[in-house]
Structure 1
Amino acid sequence: MVRVETNTGLKVECALDTRTYHKGVKVSDAQMAKLNISGDAFHPEWNYTITPRNV
């Protein structure tokens, strides 16, 4: 894990994920509809937030 802090106080953490993931996994429209996802005002197709659902 790498942790960096800028002079202005931005803190960033990153780690390399070496796991193997299957290609071509499809997410159904029903599964997508269950996500609590909201797009950002700037390029919502790239920038979005997923928050926990109230179960």
Structure 2
Amino acid sequence: MDLAGVFMYDSAHAYGTKVNEMDEKDKRIKELELQVAELNERIALLTSKLFEKN
């Protein structure tokens, strides 16, 4: 492999690594958004129970 081939391989590998890192970050963000939504539902339920009239 000549120098240009090595550079292209390294560039493609670096790009692939960055894409994988971004995919992992996107996945983590979606997991956190889901957790926040679930917590918001629990807060709403508990708040409604707290202020429920007996």
The normalised TM-score by structure 1 is 0.18
Indicate the structure whose relative CO is greater, using CA pairs within 8 Å and at least 6 residues apart: 1
Q: Which structure's CA Rg is the greater one?
A: 2
User: Higher strand fraction: Structure 1 or Structure 2?
Assistant: 1
User: Higher helix fraction: Structure 1 or Structure 2?
Assistant: 2
The normalised TM-score by structure 2 is 0.19
